[in-house]
Chain A
Amino acid sequence: MEPHNVAIRPALSRAGNTREASRALMSDWWTQLGEADATAAPVANTFVMGSLAEVLNAFDIPMMFPEIAALQTAVKGKSMDYLLAAEDIGYSPDICGYVKVDIGLHNTGREHPLGKYPKPAMVVSSNMCNTYIKWSETWERQYGCPVFVLDLPGWRGTGFEYSSTSETFRNDVKYVEGQIRDLIDLASQVSGKKFDIDKLREILGRVNRMSELYQAILAMNKNRPAPFNALTEGINYMGIANILRGQPEGVEFMETALAELEERVAHGVGAVPDERFRLLLVGTACYTNFREFVGMFERWKGVFVASEYMSFAGGGIDRGVRYDLDRPIESLAEQILITAQPSMSGIFFSHEWQARMAEEYDIDGICYHGVKSCRTTAAGLPDAREWLLNNANVPGLFIQSDLVDSRLWAEAQMRNRIDAFFESLQSRRVQAGV
């Protein structure tokens, strides 16, 4: 391994703005949820894929994203407390850790390290992850709250084309639009508020803007050096994109982030000093040992310039949401199918997306991080890795740990594999005469 040089980085006027904004907004989110809990105001539990934040925000219903809350317990070193509490009441070690953290929280007084964990008054789940549905049913049983399942038909298989004029697309839109109208009725009942279509229109307009900005942020990493690490800073962008989807603060945050990145690019400042390897992360991160995990790549001057995570967990925002504000509900149904749903289907058929990303972002290698907690993101990774190597000549590293279960973190083994991967990347360069 090469010695770690200390980089002299120019002082940038916008440095730290995004991190500060992210912290403040996340803190405000927890405060809002805590207040809702204290006043028994209705809170909706929803998920990062297919949140339908547009509809919930139109009724001012605060949203809890239990996936985000669960990963935060791991970053705070507390996930095992909750996870083991869930296992104590019968949940298997072989199911999603996020689910168990949430169940642990709900069964141990709802005290999250960052604030009060509210009871849901309603749930919006989607089929984008089947576990969402099973997870939602735990709240249905515990609190008797209504569970709305947004059923999104996905990519259908060999030869499938999803043009806006196809019969299948029209059939799907009708189904999804009908469901959205049902959700509007439910949200109105739960919140006690009337539906205001102009408010929805405003929210959709802001999602359009957030999506433009999010896409611009992602594209920043086509620069060399890449100005942000898709794993560390990317999590912040994605978190805010979810909790403030369609809110004015969400738009402001994206503008702040983009401005900071533009400044970094203008000054040639990279996320990792002396960037040497450009990586794509496929799968999710390990939050119990987040710093160590990232550090194992950074010590080789490897930077994650992109991640599949920033795509599928962004609820389609990376794919360019373009709501037609003249037809808000119809357009919401269409755009969910065009943007969010392919993000979900893309997890299962992501080989072509990975090959395209490798080319567009000049990627040296792909890290496939399989987590037992999440079959959705992880079950097919070995096959995708082999396909990429054989069909696109992109080398891949397959490692495994977990999102929130520290029992599955094996540092020495992980480090050995990562080091060996970087050595092989170096050797490829030598062989290629680069």
Chain B
Amino acid sequence: MEEELGQIIEECRIAVEDPGYPAIHQWLEDNPDGKVLGHFQVYFPEEIAHAAGMLTLKMMGFDSSVQIREADAHIAAFVCSILRTSLEQGLSGRLDFLNMYVTTPICDAARHISGVWTRRFPEMSCQILYLPQNAASPHASTYLVGEYRRIAGIIEEITGTEITDEALRASIELFNENRRLLRELYRIRRETPWLVGLTESYLLMASGGAMPRERHNELLGRAVEIIRSRDRRPQDKVRVVFEGGYCEQPPIEMLSVLQDVAYVVDDDFMIGLRWLTEDVATSGDPMENLAVAYLEASSYSPVQRDPRKPKEDMLLRRIRESHAEAAIVAAPKMCEPGLEEQVAYDAALTEAGFPHLVMEFEEKTANFEQARMEFETFAESLLFEFV
């Protein structure tokens, strides 16, 4: 069974790490008339595209395997790495299969991406989805339904397929299953973190953004079964929460270093894939159900304003619910919202007397010795403290 799990994880690794997007190309080979929608972080209601038969690709950045050759000439130097690497993917032609690209105005730098894509790819439909930033407003859900319908209309034009309520309900079911499996994976992480490594879990989760969700459900479902049946003993490691991976992702090698010294019992990596925290209802108006779920049954991130979910309180809740003993509060280099939130997280954790490490990371980092030293020192200091 371990061999089978190894194969599953290898397939996930290729989907996440290979800048040539093999899983997408495979789907296009199988569906020669298929259309692909790319969307930038953090959240996009992929069910809407799926209901029209479109494949979605959640844009991630890349590590040093992607050399920046053109992107730097199109975007200022003081932006984060994921904006540059994802743009590089577009400018280098590796994303030529995209028929539509959707960004959401998550931060001031990312808002420029839509401008750059519009200028560089005038033939492609580059759309901006304005998710509500006044999420607590009583008017937000009506507005969001209208916005989802607008996007659905464009998808219908591109695919030539009408998005019926029945099709959308079926897609919601498929994605509900995906969310259930991800919740189960994270439950295992919280309750028995010794059964699954951080990198395994990360690859199993993140690959959902870069392959057909049907295939992801198959892989994830089987992987969860195997992980559950593992016979492993807990080690003397500190239980930590990692916060700061809602958009740009830390390099997998960095996660590997981290899992050597700690059990990461919860995190916000690729939080958009797990933004909806419960099953979305399939009865009634499915578009409305998606909009309501976005606003009412959802996670949090520094780039969504919702006064009902103060970020510090949400982090403390994540820590509490995962029984973590410490937190790593990270932010990608040059990520303005992440760096700003980091100060608030630091203050809240300090006030709560909760041990935490504040750090920055960059997806293109190639040397992990400093990270190893930071993690080890932090973990050792905690072990001494607990003794």
Contacts and interface: CB of A to CB of B under 8 A. Distances in A.
Contact of A349 (B115, B302, B342): B115
B75 interface: yes
Contacts of A174: 139, 142-143
Given A151-B133, A158-B127, A383 B120 contact: yes
A149 B132 CA distance: 10
Given A153-B147, A171-B143, A178-B139, 15 more contacts: A92-B339, A94-B333, A94-B334, A95-B339, A127-B105, A131-B336, A149-B134, A155-B128, A157-B127, A159-B125, A171-B146, A351-B119, A380-B74, A382-B72, A382-B75
A222 interface: no
Nearest to A344: B111
A92 B344 CA distance: 12
A324 interface: no
9 contacts: A91-B343, A92-B340, A96-B336, A151-B137, A151-B140, A174-B143, A375-B108, A378-B76, A400-B76
A427 interface: no
A350 B132 CA distance: 24
A27 interface: no
Contact of A127 (B113, B133, B146, B331): B133
Interface stretch (A60-68, A133-141, A273-281, A301-309): A133-141
Most buried by B among A95, A149, A383: A383
A95 B75 contact: no
A382 B76 contact: yes
A129 B108 contact: yes
A130 B118 contact: no
A91 B337 CA distance: 11
Interface residues of A, number: 56
Given A131-B108, A150-B134, A178-B137, A384 B336 contact: no
Interface of A: 89-92, 94-96, 99, 127, 129-131, 133-134, 137-138, 141, 147, 149-151, 153-159, 167-168, 171-172, 174-175, 178-179, 182, 348-351, 370, 372, 374-376, 378-384, 386-387, 400
Contact of A167 (B118, B126, B150, B302): B150
A384 B116 CA distance: 8
Contacts of B343: 89-91
B373 to A, nearest CB: 21
B363 interface: no
A374 B76 CA distance: 11
A131 B107 CA distance: 8
Contacts of A130: 105-108, 111, 303, 336-337
B93 interface: no
Contacts of A95: 336, 339-340
Nearest to B101: A157
A179 B143 CA distance: 11
Interface string B317-342: 00000000000000101101101111
B130 interface: yes
Contacts of B137: 151, 175, 178-179, 182
